Amino acid sequence: MTTPLKDRHRAIWASGDYATVAADIIPSLGPLLVEACGIGPRQRVLDVAAGTGNAAIPAALTGADVTASDLTPALLETGERLAGARGAKLTWAEADAEALPFADGEYDCVLSCVGVMFAPSHQVAADELVRVCRPGGTIGLLSWTPAGFIGQLFAVMKPFAPVPPPGAQPAPLWGDEAHVRTLLGDRVTDVTVRTQRLRVEAFAAADGFREYFKRNYGPTLAVYRALQDDPARTAELDAALDALAARFRAADGSMDWEYLLVTAARADG
């Protein structure tokens, strides 16, 4: 699907260097989600909003038959190279999380690691996750929480960012248990929910987080680009991000980033 909003999302995630962010900051999250979903040989697995394959590649390395789907072709191209370097064989498919080009019940497991949460229409995306999962199959989601560091990053950037289109919902809501339970409803059973934290030790300098995300993280780059002709507002955002990092920064320079891990079974019928 090509619309101005989808084109904007593709451009945001193609900017910067998300593969570096995934490798430097969150390499443990994909394998953790794969393990939580119990993925193994010969299972048919779909990773929605897969990015560069943080979860899809470790899923494929278990022997599962994996399709990694994402809206942004540039991320898929990078992911395919990374998979080749690790000897992982899987299918890469350009796909909108809100209109997946896959059949009803096609997959034994449908998962997303800090990916589907960025689809603007949460209920539409959730409906698609459920639709393509077979009855009895597993749905697994790992999302940043609203109160955690990345959720607060988006809250801090919001006053500086362009106004979102009507109907677009904040991504970190996927990290709210009540919101996710409402999205999935009675179409799933055996729901397990865990709130956990990722220890991040990548930013030794006080301004390390800000400078790293300004270089590499698409959503942060997009906000700074919108302010490129306004040095005063740019300085305000710099200060706001430094204050955010200081709020979460421990004495040893590390940070704990909170996320919600949800697994559920697609209900029969």
Rounded Cα distance between 220 and 209, Å, is: 11
User: According to the model, what pLDDT value does residue 3 have?
Assistant: 86
| Domain 4-200+254-266 bears CATH identifier 3.40.50.150 | yes
pLDDT, one tens digit per residue, over 112-150 is 999 999 999 999 999 999 999 999 999 999 999 999 999
User: According to the model, what pLDDT value does residue 109 have?
Assistant: 98
Confidence of residue 250 (pLDDT cuts 50, 70, 90): very high
Cα end-to-end span (Å), the chain: 29
* Cα dihedral value 151, 156, 159, 165, nearest 10: -20
pLDDT, one tens digit per residue, over 201-230 is 999 888 999 999 999 999 999 999 999 999
pLDDT, one tens digit per residue, over 150-186 is 999 999 999 999 998 888 999 999 999 999 999 999 9
Helix (H, G, I), strand (E, B) or coil at 43: coil
pTM of the predicted structure, to 2 decimals: 0.96
Averaged pLDDT, 52-62: 98
Averaged pLDDT, 233-257: 96
Rounded Cα distance between 64 and 58, Å, is: 9
pLDDT, one tens digit per residue, over 1-54 is 578 889 999 999 999 999 999 999 999 999 999 999 999 999 999 999 999 999
Rounded Cα distance between 74 and 14, Å, is: 6
Residue 35 CA from chain centroid, whole number: 17
pLDDT, one tens digit per residue, over 94-107 is 999 999 999 999 99
Question: 100 Cβ partners below 8 Å, 6+ apart?
Answer: 46, 48, 69, 128, 131, 132
Domain residue spans of the chain: 4-200+254-266
User: According to the model, what pLDDT value does residue 134 have?
Assistant: 98
User: According to the model, what pLDDT value does residue 65 have?
Assistant: 98
